[in-house]
Structure formats: C-alpha cells, structure tokens
Amino acid sequence: FGTILSEPLPLTPESLKVSINSTKQCLHLQWTVHNLDYHQELKMVFQIQISRLKASNVIWMGNYSTTVKRNQVLHWSWESELPLECAIHFVRMRTMVDDARIPAPRFWSNWSSWEKADAQNSLGDHPLYVFPKDKLVEEGSDVTICYISRNHQDNISCYLEDELTYGKQLDQNVWAFELKNVSFHRKTGTNFYCKGQGVPEGVVLFVSKVLEEPKDFSCETRDLKTVTCTWDPGSDTGLIQLPSYTLFDSFSGKKTLCKHRNRCDWQVTQDSQEVYNFTLVAENYFRKRSVSILFNLIHGVHPLAPYNLFPKSVSATNVTMTWKVSSIGHNSALLCQLQLLGEGKQHNISVRVNGEYLLSELKPDTEYMARVRCAYADHFWKWSELISQNFTTAEAAPSEAPDVWRDVTFVSGHPTVTLFWKPLSKVHTNGKILFYNVVVENLDEPSSLEVLSVPAPANSTKVTLNQSSYQIYVTAHNSVGPSPASAVAISGHPENENVEEGRVNGTEDGFHMSWKPQSRNATGYVVEWCDDPQNLPCVLRWKNLGPTNTGTVISSDAFRPGVRYNFRIYEISAKRMAHLLEKKAGYLKELAPSYNPEVATINLTSHSFTLSWKDYSTESQTGFIQGYYVYLKSKTGEKCHREFEKTILPDNSVGCKYTIDNPDQKTFVVKDLQPESVYEFFVTPYTSAGEGPLDDFTKVTTPDDYSHILIHIILPMIFCVLVVMITCYLKSQWLKDKCYPDIPDPYKSSVLSLIKFKENPRITIMNVNDCVPDAIEVVNKPEGSKIQFTGTRKSPTETKGTKPVYLDLLPTENYSGPGPCICFENFTYNQAASDLGYCGHFPVTPQAPHCQLGPLTSPENLLKTLEQNYMNSLGEIPAGEANLNYVSQLASPTSGDKESPPANPPEPVLCSEYKMQMAIPLGLASPAPSENSSLSSTALLNPSEHCH
C-alpha cells in the first residue's frame, strides 16, 4: 500500500465462537473481521474480556495483536487456572486498527456480544466430580482443584496425600481448593481425593521437576572423524516422558537430534571445517534450556587408549615393554607416557604405530605394574585412558645376611646352642628362600667343620658343642645362590650371669632403655626378650643395634599390661662374641595384684600370733610388689593398735590396717591381743597400681593364759603313756610269763615218776589215793569270828586274831619223820586267808612213830566222810559264816599268821610238787592243831589202811 488511508474503518469482530479443551483446560476462541477490503492487510489489536459465573464478573482482560486479512479466521487460546468444568465462563472482544498507515486518532470498535462457555452441560448424573483430570504441573507452581456435588446435603472432605485440605465455595454445588507451591512426591503422581457418603472421587497430579540447564558441556574427537559432545543433564524431571536434546551448529546451520540425554555425536564432513559453534537445546512440556560452546577440531583431540601392552626379555633387573596405538588422521604422531607403578618414574615416548621402551635398574623377584597412556602430539589436550600390565622380574641371590642370634644352655658342662634367625625381607631375598646353611667351625681345630642344612621356612636349629670355642656361620639360599654369611661366636665356658637386674618403665611407645658401654671395641649391641614370657617355651626376640647406640625403644604388638618382661643387653665384641652387659625387667603397665598369698598362722599365744606367707613367683606378678597390707578385725570392736590405722573396708565394716613397705618381709607379728578373743586377718600385696583383691578374712582365736602350761604338762604325760603302752605291747609275752604263768599240765607233772602204782599201773594223774596220809584234820574258824560275804576287803580290826582255815593231812601216831601232806588253798574263795597269806602246813609230833605210807582209803570213802562232817558242821556254823579256803599248791609249810610267825618254825614237810586243789567249806575246818585237839587220821581211813 503506497497510499495512506484518510479515515478509520469500523472493524468489529464477528462470528466469535468459544470452545472448551478439558485436557489442557483452555478456552479456544475463533472469529473473523468481514469489513476489510480485498487484498487489504491491517495490523490490528484485539482486546478480550473473560468473565466467570456471570458476565459482569470479569476475571481477565488482555490484548492480542496480529495482522488481519479479509475474511481471515483468527484463533486464540486462554488457559484457565480453575478447571473449566467448575464454573460458567463468558467471553467478548473488540478491535482497534494499529496500522501505521491509518492516521491518528484511532478508536476501539464496539464490544461483541458475550459468548457463554459451560462445560457442566456435558457432565452426567454422578453425585460427585473432581477436576482437573490427570493434571501435569511443574514443581513449585500453584494448582486449583475443585469438586462438583449433585447432593447439597453431603458433608464432603478433601485430602491431599491423606492430609485434610480446606477450600472455598464458588457456588451452591462447587468448592475450589488452591494448592500453593506443589512439591514432587513420586513419579506416579500426587493424589487428591474427596469423599462424602458415597464412593470417594479423586484426581492425580503429575508433578514434574524443573528442567535444569545442561552443565559441563564439552566436545572432543578421538579420530578426527567424529565429534562427541557430552554434558551433565542434571537431576531427572521425574516424568515418564524425558526431555529432548538437540545439537545445533550455527556456522553450518545443521542440527541433529541427540539419542542420549548426556551425549551426542556429530559427524565431521570432508569440507575441512575446523571450528564449530555448537548450541545444545534441552526442552520439555514446560520450558526450554540451552547452552553453547565454540569448538576447534584440532584442539580437541582425545586419542583412544593403547592396546597390546606386553613385557619381553625379562631379567632380574631389566625388562622391555611393547604396545600399539590407534592412528589419528594421516598417521599423526602420539606422545605416549610409560609409568612403573610404585617407582614414581615416568618415561615419555613418541609413537606413531608401535611403542617400545627398556626399563632398567629393577629389583629381582619383584612384581611390577607397567601403565601406558597417550596424547595428541601436535596439540596436547587430554591423555587417553590408561592400560596396565603386570610382570615379575627374575630371581637373584639374596643380597643381605640373615639376622642371627643364639641361646646357649649348658648340659653336663657342654654348651647346647639354639640358633635363631629372622626371615629376610622381600627386598633382600631376591627370590624364594629354599633352605639355610649352618656351618659350625671349631676355632681350636680349624680343619673341623660341620655343615647343617635347614629347610625353609624353619627359623631355628640346635647344635651341641664341646668346651671349645666356635664360630657359626648362617647363610640363606634361593634357586640362584647363597646370601652373605652372618657369624656368631660361641665360647665353650658359661658366661657371667652375676649381673644385677635393673628396672625399666613401659610407656605407650614401648620400653625405653639405655645402657653404659663397657668396651670401646664393641661392634654392636643386642637386646633380647620374650614376647610372651608366661607361655613356655619362650619365643625369643632380639634387636640388633650399632656400636654407637647406647639406648633404644623396644616395642611389640604382643606386649600386654600386667606382664613382666625381662630384657638382657649383650655387647658384641670384634670377634662376634656376646657378653652379658645388663639385665632389666619391667611392665608395659603395672596392674594391681590378681591374687593374694596363702597365709599361715604360727606361734599362737594368748596375746599374739605370727602371720607367715611365701614369696610370689616373679612371672605371675602383675606389677612390682612394693609391700603388703595387713588387715585386722576384732569381734569385740577393739581400738586399733599403735602400729595400725583405722580404715573402712569395701563391705563398709571398720578394720585396722598395717602397711609393710618392705616387699621382702614375709612374716608379721600381731601383738597386744586379748586372751580368748576372736580376730580376723587378711594379707594382700600392693603395687603402684593398687592392692590385691579383697578375699575372705581368716579367723583365729587366742587361747587363755594357762592353756600353754597345760599343754606342757599333758603332752609329756601323753608321751610317757604312749611309751609305756608301746613297751608293754613289745614285752607282752615277757609280762605274761612273769605275771600270769601258764597252769602246769598235770599229765606232765614230775611227781608221777615218784609214785609206784600197785593196783592200776595205767593211772597217770595223781589222785588222793596216791598219797597215804595218817589223818585229815578239818580246822574250823573260831566262834565269834564271822566271815564277811560282802565281797570287800576286811579291815585290820576285823581280821585280827583270825586263823586261816586249812585242811591238812596229818601223819599217823607212829610216824615220826616228815610225812606227805595235801594242802588246799585258794585265796579267791577266802579273802581272809589271802590277806594273811596263811597255809595250814603242820609238822607231825616228834613222838609219832615211823611207819610206812600206806594207801589212803578210796576217794569215795574220803568224800563221803568229808561230806558227812561238812553237813554236821553246817548246823554249828552260823548263817553267813561258811566260807571256802583255797590253799596254794606250792605254798611253804608254815603255820600261824604272817604278822605272827611261830617261835619255832617247823621244818619243811616233804610234800609233792603238785597238790590237788579242793574247795572245803569252812564249817569242816578244825582249829589249828594243838596238843589237846587233834583228829586222828583213822577217822578218815579204813582200819585196814592204818600204819602198823
């Protein structure tokens, strides 16, 4: 249009139509402008108003500008934050020409009529509806949800993820809920539902995370044929539909859709373009993100990793490494770097196709790892990936002598040497150690050598020597050869052990010890100890030190608190001879004693007692014993003695405590005690860490003051009684023979040989018939004297003037010589006679004529006569006065009382050695024979048996 229109045209929008898109919750407007001339195009502005619920309630008004042709159908959409199903909407518009060709002033046209948009008409008869359906929103945005209820009486509650939500009422049947700053819960969506009396209804909100701008966008090429761009897409949006990525080059105007969310390939063309301006665009439903980079193809070469890395010509100290590389362009050169892991060395090599490099000064029998990487030589930008290969060098002879030590013991004057050596470190073995050679050289006999082979992995051996001096060499052998020798000198005589033992304190680092050198020619020092001295045999450990060292720290993972460790420090002479320098003992950490000594109570008196205990084994001590505590308790609650101090025991009882600060003291005297009192004591050692455990107290009771005197009397008496009993037991047969002789056997009596048997020569036992007495006299106890039967011994007054009862055989009147007699005596039956020792033996009168001894009357007649006289005498003897008199067989023929011996003692009567025992009642006994009273034997004898 070359001319300018002079007057405005009344261009009013016509044919306005409004439709509803429920999926996107949009109102879609469609209209035309009919008053334009043909082929006329004008730039126009359309002003639109949207009302809700009623036409007067305008909720939005805005302008839409576009170029309009005659009869052109125009379209415009408006997205509602409130679901369109929840309210009726009204739309109208007007227009104004905004073309530069139309001179001012410009005027708005008239409003079009209101067009109504009602989505509720399409709803069915369901009692409850919730909108919008399957809404897609971005995290952090606001969302409005509404429900439509057909039943006005329902009490409806709505929930967002089970949390009650409150809204506002739009009209009688509609409630709206505005959700602010919606958050992402899960990829499957966020639940919103309402429930009343019927079935609950709800919707799912699909919340998307905000699309992030790609980070670390860069491009490179590995072969100058393909450019690969990479980036970090950021966090996932959480939607099933992923964002799309597009790579665009502004220089060539080409673009490519990327197949991956973090990488994209761009093919290099043959037009030799080297510089690119790449833009990466990320896009999803809600927004777009873009980032750009300027890329030079030559400056962004990242070579591929090398391959076929392989070692060849491997020796103990050298190896040649070979590898291959991928070509770039027209055989461009690459810079490759060879690394030996652990050595810290790098070697750079220029390679086109194949690479090769010699590595030297390696360690024998050592595993290495070689690594190779390459970069573009023309313009370095980035190393390729590393490739690696392991290899092991060949073995070599061990490079260091073994660390050797010895333990010498003497058996029957001959030294037995136990050799110990430490395994060589991996650095010095140079291969697998197969065995150890031990060469024993007698220094007194240099030609005498003894070679021992000890298979690995043994680290000790024993050698028995004589009293000569020796030099012992130890070498380690692998498949290549031996190591240097380690020498130890052994003397044939015991070393000086009279070295005072010192103490060393342990710390967290170990034992710090020092010593004073004794010789200026020392070639070194050795500290020896046991890691676990409580378990035998001891595992010997040692530490070699140089000649300038006069101190060291001994540490070991095996050291434990409460264990005593003994250290021995040796000085090594120039001849490799070891001399004991010092002894030290210590604890890594002292502990309180774990048990108490066994205490014995000795020298118990009424006022004191002595406690005694034995010494501890030094190996069982958990610390250096500094002394002992003696605890004493009294049942009577006495005050503590002068040397004790009052203390509270762990059981809250009160006791007395005495401290012994001398660890060598093993006895203690408790004094000033009360007799017949109960005391309790307890002894425990203590170290710098504390005292021993509290055991049970031991009770002791003091005796009274006189008990020791009684003991001094009773014990000798008991000893004497025991001696007498033992003597009696040993001399029992002798005592029996002296005090209780055996009764003679009548068959063995010697009297039988004196009797000539006339009537019966077979009779061997002497009977009454064998004696020919002249008379038997029965002596009666004088009247007035009564015999006691109480079984008790008579007093001297009762027995005074009493004659013993006896029965004697008297000779005939014509018998003048000593005649045989029979004496009956038994002191058991007659106590009086026993007391007096009387036996009735009477001599015959000298006037009696001599006659031959005739046989007695028969025993039957004699017994009858005796029985008759006995019965006659019973009536004359008062009751209770009858008694029996037993007369000893071997008694002397004496008369009268012991106390009143006769003036004219009779001569011994010839009696037989054996006298028959008879018990005769005292009633038959006659008084003592006298001149006036005698009984002729004829009263008892047969007339034919009288002596003539």
User: At 382, is the secondary structure helix, strand, or coil?
Assistant: coil
pLDDT at residue 567, as a whole number: 95
List CB contacts of 172: < 8 A, sequence separation 6 or more. 152
Q: Which two tokens stand for residue 114?
A: 């209101």
Q: What is the pLDDT of residues 216-247, one digit of tens each?
A: 999 999 988 899 999 999 888 877 778 899 99
Q: What is the pLDDT of residues 250-281, one digit of tens each?
A: 998 899 999 999 999 999 887 778 899 999 99
Greatest distance between any 2 Cα atoms in the chain: 231
**Other CB atoms within 10 Å distance of the CB of residue 351:** 19
All structural domains of the chain, each given as residue ranges with its CATH number in brackets, are 14-121 (2.60.40.10), 123-208 (2.60.40.10), 215-299 (2.60.40.10), 307-393 (2.60.40.10), 403-587 (2.60.40.10), 599-706 (2.60.40.10)
Classify each residue of 292-313 as buried b or exposed e, where b means 16 or more C-beta atoms within 10 Å of its C-beta.
Answer: eeebebeebbbbebbeebebee
8 A C-beta contact, residue 320 and residue 338 = no
Instruction: Give CA–CA dist 821/832, Å, rounded.
Output: 22
Average pLDDT (743-772) is 56
Instruction: Give CA–CA dist 644/191, Å, rounded.
Output: 86
Q: What is the pLDDT of residues 418-472, one digit of tens each?
A: 999 999 998 899 999 999 999 999 988 877 789 999 999 999 999 988 888 999 9
The larger pLDDT score, comparing residue 748 to residue 180, is at 180
**Other CB atoms within 10 Å distance of the CB of residue 834:** 18
- Decide if pLDDT at 795 tops 50: no
- Say if residue 132 is preceded by a cis peptide, omega within 30 of 0: yes
- Say if residue 703 is preceded by a cis peptide, omega within 30 of 0: no
8 A C-beta contact, residue 137 and residue 181 = no
- Decide if pLDDT at 37 tops 80: no
Alpha-helix runs per DSSP H in 104-206: none
Most confident range, picked from 129-138, 189-198, 561-570, 819-828 = 561-570
Q: Is 547 left (phi over 0), alpha (psi -120 to 50) or beta?
A: alpha
Instruction: Give CA–CA dist 623/594, Å, rounded.
Output: 10
- Decide if pLDDT at 852 tops 80: no
Q: Which two tokens stand for residue 411?
A: 């058996």
Instruction: Give CA–CA dist 127/774, Å, rounded.
Output: 171
Axis-axis angle for helices 707-730, 732-739 (nearest 10): 70
Residues of the chain above pLDDT 90, percent: 39
Q: Which two tokens stand for residue 661?
A: 């600060």
Nearest alpha carbon to residue 249 among 278, 273, 220, 212? 278
Residues of the chain above pLDDT 70, percent: 76
* Residue 540, φ and ψ in degrees, nearest 5: -75, 135
Q: What residue type is 130 in one-letter code?
A: V
pLDDT at residue 134, as a whole number: 82
pTM greater than the 0.95 cutoff: no
pLDDT at residue 188, as a whole number: 84
- Parallel, antiparallel or unpaired: strands 135-138 and 201-208: parallel
Q: Which two tokens stand for residue 459?
A: 């680290």
Bridge partners (DSSP) of residue 35 are: none
The larger pLDDT score, comparing residue 582 to residue 100, is at 582
pLDDT at residue 864, as a whole number: 54
- Decide if pLDDT at 762 tops 70: no
pLDDT at residue 800, as a whole number: 41
pLDDT band at 627 (very low <50, low <70, confident <90, very high): very high
pLDDT at residue 916, as a whole number: 45
